[in-house]
Amino acid sequence: MTLHELIARRIRLGGPLTTATFMELALYHPGLGYYSRAPRRTGRAGDFFTSVDVGPQFGALLARQLDEMYRLLGPSCADRFDVVEAGAANGQLARDILDTAESDFPALYRAIRLTLVEASAPARAAHLDTLGHHSRRLVASSDRMPDEVQGVILANELLDALPTHAVAMTADGLREIMVDVEEERFVERAAPPSTPDLARYLDRLDARLSPGGRGEVNLAAVEWVQDAARRLRLGFMLLIDYGHPAERLYSGSHSTGTLTTFRRHTTSTPVSDTEQQGGPPWLAHPGEQDITAHVDWTSIRTAAADEGLALLGLTDQTHFLLGLGALDNAPTGADTPSVRHRLALKTLVVPGGLGSTHHALMLGRGVGTPTLAGGAFKTRM
Ligand SMILES: C[S@@+](CC[C@H](N)C(=O)[O-])C[C@H]1O[C@@H](n2cnc3c(N)ncnc32)[C@H](O)[C@@H]1O
């Protein structure tokens, strides 16, 4: 049975699905979901690029940030610095970080105890291969976070990939966007919210969707941050993703929501070509394309603060990487031809591209409120 047939059958038997449940099945159904069928979905041969696919430069710069974090933790942690990467895909970012740590930051390298947390089984199966000789630094490759972390929890483009609810403001008030099936096609259906948490989430933000407006409420992203924060006993959390503060995300500039699909480097936004394609793009081809939504940074940082984490910085990727020395003598990791190296840095940093769409949130527990190199240009949001 195809994933399309499986989801359609489930709807016929149990009624319409929330957007979050549809996304969970489309992306993570064991065996049939988009992420469950391949070790890595990004890069030239995949459907979209992340900063990791640009080259080893991103990981090399992150190694510098991790080294500063390691030194800030002081002598009591000199022999053990947990690096927990969540949403690690095939482990390429960890590989890039370790390459530079080994060559440029040997004390950090020796102290690293790496855990790669990844939902996709084929991606986990690739970890040892990707890490190569760095595998000796790997303590676990798992789909679950470790109980206790003393070091850093790191995630690049994880939160945007977590299944999100979607809502719309109608004449009857807040409605949830559900997924129904008509003949063989998936269609959107507005229904009373499946949980009061959706209205509570928007109320807490004082977010008012305008009539006809829609947006996403990513309860799973907030839960993920709460859970990760509880596991962080001492150290830092570094979350990098694309998103906006709530006041922008739930404003007129995003009134059609941000559910976006990526397929073979083609992007579709929530309602693009809805009529021509016979339905919203995010409902087409479940299991064959990525579905994402922009991150609500306000809720993420509030959830972290509620769990006792200190905000150390929230800045766009341009300023984050400049703070880490992207344009001066940045570490390069592996031998990189200099033109390619400079082009890669440009792609990562230049405003208007990844540098502006992506932001880095830096958090800490038990470390005071140091100004980290990545946050040296101060909070930009
Ligand atoms: C957009 S990809 C980003 C991959 C990589 N971090 C990068 O930047 O290239 C998101 C990854 O997160 C994984 N993922 C999704 N939910 C997860 C969860 N709850 N725990 C761990 N990994 C998860 C997906 O399987 C996928 O590999």
Measured from the Cα of 48, ligand 1's closest atom is 1
Query: Are 286 and 7 spatial neighbours (Cβ–Cβ below 8 Å)?
Result: yes
Tell me the two tokens of residue 349.
């940093």
Q: Read off the pLDDT band of 276 (50, 70, 90).
A: very low
CA angle 11, 268, 215 (to 5 degrees): 65
Query: Measured between alpha carbons, how far is 197 from 368 in angstroms, rounded to an integer?
Result: 33
- The model's pTM: 0.94
The percentage of residues in the chain with a pLDDT greater than 70, rounded to a whole number, is 94
Q: Determine the pLDDT at residue 381.
A: 47
Weakest-pLDDT range from 49-63, 191-205, 326-340: 326-340
Identity of the amino acid at 20: A
Cα of 156 from ligand 1 centre, angstroms: 8
Structure-token match 């596991």, residue found: 231
Q: Determine the pLDDT at residue 278.
A: 63
DSSP 192: S
Considering only CA atoms, which residue is closest to atom 8 of ligand 1? 156
Structure confidence by residue, pLDDT tens digits, 38-77? 887 777 777 778 999 999 999 999 999 999 999 999 998 9
Cα of 64 from ligand 1 centre, angstroms: 23
Considering only CA atoms, which residue is closest to atom 11 of ligand 1? 87
- Interstrand relation of 266-268 and 112-117 (parallel, antiparallel or unpaired): unpaired
Query: Which residue has better confidence, 286 or 328?
Result: 286
Q: Best of 118, 143, 164, 241 to mutate for ligand 1, by most ligand atoms within 8 A of CB? A: 118
Query: Measured between alpha carbons, how far is 46 from 52 in angstroms, rounded to an integer?
Result: 13
Provide the 10 A C-beta neighbour count for residue 85. 23
Q: Determine the pLDDT at residue 247.
A: 94
Cα of 210 from ligand 1 centre, angstroms: 32
- CATH of the domain spanning 51-161+221-245+295-375: 3.40.50.12710
Phi and psi angles of residue 14, each rounded to the nearest 5 degrees, phi first: -115, 0
Considering only CA atoms, which residue is closest to atom 4 of ligand 1? 89
Q: Determine the pLDDT at residue 375.
A: 94
Instruction: Provide the residue ranges of all domains of the chain, joining segments of one domain with +.
Output: 3-29+165-217+259-292, 51-161+221-245+295-375
Q: Read off the pLDDT band of 9 (50, 70, 90).
A: very high
**Which helix H or strand E contains 203, and what residues bound it?**
helix 197-205
> Please, what is the average pLDDT of the chain?
92
Cα of 375 from ligand 1 centre, angstroms: 24
Q: Determine the pLDDT at residue 172.
A: 92
pLDDT at 32 over 70: yes
Cα of 336 from ligand 1 centre, angstroms: 26
